[in-house]
Structure 1
Amino acid sequence: MNAVEAVYEQWQRLCALKSDFKLKDESGRAILAELCTRRHGHFDAWLTEIAQLPIWQETQVNVAKNCPEVMVQQALSMAEKESLLKGLEALMPWRKGPFSIAGIQIDSEWRSDFKYQRLLDLGVTLAGQQILDVGTGNGYFLYRLLGSGAHLAVGVDPSWHYFAQFLALQRYFAQERAVYLPMTLDDALLTDFDITLSMGVLYHRRDPLAHLGQLRETLRADGRLILETLVVEGDEQTVFMPKERYAGMRNVWFLPSVAALGRWLSRLGFEVEAQTEVVQTTPLEQRATNWMQRQSLKDFMQADGQLTKEGLPPPKRVMMVARKL
């Protein structure tokens, strides 16, 4: 399989599962073909690694767990274990997870199950829903959404590295109702979803209001947006922009207060229905591991964890559910 075939396979699955996309087949293929010409330089090598991963006929899959798991019925040979480990390590760093495949535990940088539990705590009905995950990473949330009974889980993310990880995961999880497109909403606006997730994306956008407007357009009438983002303390007028970096990140633009975020959503035609408590991100949730051996949150915080290396307040997050009016 080459890059174009890998992407078209995802598009074909989406058209089959969501019939209104069949009308966009020609334009969708043209957009994806253009994106393929700008794919990551390592993507073809990653595809080669994925093709060499061992597979087994009899497996049990569970995507409803905090750590989605694939269990193999027969005992693996040493050669199979080494081949599996080598192939998965070739796709490092693994930032989203965790996952368990044939006894190998992928301990990702982010404990994404923490965030998913906060989503579940909001009480949104996921069963039977068509859900779009904007900035899906390697698709961890797609699997969890299907484990919660979603009818369809579609992820978009411009990272070809994450796309490669998703293709490797799909070799084992084989979830027919999970679809991944390596693109952004700027490339093509996907529409008519019951629920759209945007988690950890808003503060990376130079125009956060335009992003919220795009997210609204992805929803059917009365659809729900699940929005998670970094926030600061303050009133409805409080929005913070870092001078340069924030917790080591260059691409952080606007951090609103919870009240300001609520006003943004209201002005753009949403009604906030529920929200979590503001939660500080700690090294329990984001940290370096054997599967992500680069700098992580701890390296960008002062020793006491009360301020970032830049002397700014520590990263705090809120998650909101907003209904499209």
Structure 2
Amino acid sequence: MIEYYHTLLETLRLDPVLSRWAEQLPEQIRRGLDTRRYGDLPDWLNALDQLPDIHADSIELNNEVRIETDDALDADTLQQLRSALEALIPWRKGPYHLHGIHLDTEWRSDWKWDRVSPHLADLTHRRVLDVGCGNGYHCWRMLGAGASRVIGIDPSPRFVVQFLAIKRLLGGNPPVDVVPVGIEALPPKLEAFDTVFSMGVLYHRRSPMDHLRELKEALRPGGQVVLETLVIEGGLGEVLVPEGRYAKMNNVWFLPSGPSLLSWLRKAGFRSPRMVDFCPTTTEEQRATDWMRFHSLPEFLDPDDPNRTAEGHPAPIRAVFIAET
């Protein structure tokens, strides 16, 4: 699997700041994509190998992720493509439009990007880190917005293989990579990225203050953090700490109010933190599809009161926070 990362590793080795990570990353990749640890990984890699070789005549990454050829695919090639992509189900982040196949993912991640993107510093020529990026949907949108290099990190090997499938369909060697690690794999005080995204991660961390510190240490002086997370309505100091599950998730630790999270960002050393979006999550934005066939938000809510989760907590609200170092 290390062969998928030769260009990235060489780029990092030549960079005076990122070279520290380049020394550690090959072994981190080997551990993250070890078939002895992940029994289904050989099947996912086989699906990657089964992708047909299709030349991409048209690629759109700015307004959506769309890959097309000038001529329609014949039925056999289209079925081969569909079968390979279906072998990687569930697809959670998207959607993707791939040679006539509408890959309708669980999340309308394009809606999230539309809420986030108006508030970003211009990504042109910026080096970007996307923490907990899933299959890399937003990484492609960041490249479409002008980023010079995007590195996504996510410890799920299925998501990494999904990303590699999309990258193979794009062709060439675009400066985007997803590596199978968490943020704790980055060297401390790296200070290497112009923009760091953490979207849908904070509430999964046992220590939110440690996560904010890790984000800050990954940023160069003057860089920008983009933090999207679950929140609750309330004032300064209010935080929901679910004793059991939240929306049937057992790894949700802290859901702060907007003012509370702004305070945490200031305490972590960020400058000028602001909340730029506050949006309840709807069953149109997160739901089961043909490409994600398991339970989703409609099953996670109280059937008699959609303003409550199945456990009786306030239903999901997501907010976007921007700050600088």
* TM-score, with structure 2 as normaliser: 0.93
Pick closer, same or farther for the CA change 1:41–1:9 going to 2, 3 Å. farther
Are the counterparts in 2 of residues 122 and 274 from structure 1 also a CA contact under 8 Å? no
Pick closer, same or farther for the CA change 1:19–1:70 going to 2, 3 Å. farther
Q: Quick check: 1:245 aligned with 2:245?
A: yes
Pick closer, same or farther for the CA change 1:151–1:219 going to 2, 3 Å. same
SS at match of 2:53: coil
Q: Give the paired residue count.
A: 320
How do residues 144-223 of structure 1 correspond to structure 2 at under 5 angstroms? Answer: 144-174=141-171, 176-189=174-187, 191-223=191-223
Are the counterparts in 2 of residues 93 and 293 from structure 1 also a CA contact under 8 Å? yes
In structure 1, the residue matched to 2:116 is 119
2:22 to 22, 25, 38: 25
Q: Which runs of 5+ in 2 are unaligned?
A: none
SS at match of 1:276: strand
Q: What displacement does 1:104 show?
A: 0.4
How do residues 202-281 of structure 1 correspond to structure 2 at under 5 angstroms? Answer: 202-281=202-281
Are the counterparts in 2 of residues 262 and 272 from structure 1 also a CA contact under 8 Å? no
* TM-score, with structure 1 as normaliser: 0.93
Counting aligned pairs with the same residue, the percent is 39
2:127 to 130, 142, 146: 130
Are the counterparts in 2 of residues 158 and 184 from structure 1 also a CA contact under 8 Å? yes
Q: What displacement does 1:73 show?
A: 1.8
Q: What displacement does 1:123 show?
A: 4.3
Q: What displacement does 1:213 show?
A: 0.3
In structure 1, the residue matched to 2:313 is 312
Q: Which whole-Å CA distance do the structure 2 matches of 1:223 and 1:98 have between them?
A: 29
SS at match of 2:3: helix
Q: What displacement does 1:5 show?
A: 2.9
Q: Quick check: 1:142 aligned with 2:143?
A: no
Please, which moves more after superposition, 306-315 or 172-181? 172-181
SS at match of 2:93: coil
In structure 1, the residue matched to 2:42 is 44
Q: Quick check: 1:297 aligned with 2:297?
A: yes
Are the counterparts in 1 of residues 265 and 273 from structure 2 also a CA contact under 8 Å? no
Q: What displacement does 1:34 show?
A: 3.3
Are the counterparts in 2 of residues 156 and 182 from structure 1 also a CA contact under 8 Å? yes
CA-based RMSD of the aligned residues comes to 1.8
In structure 2, the residue matched to 1:82 is 79
Are the counterparts in 1 of residues 273 and 322 from structure 2 also a CA contact under 8 Å? yes
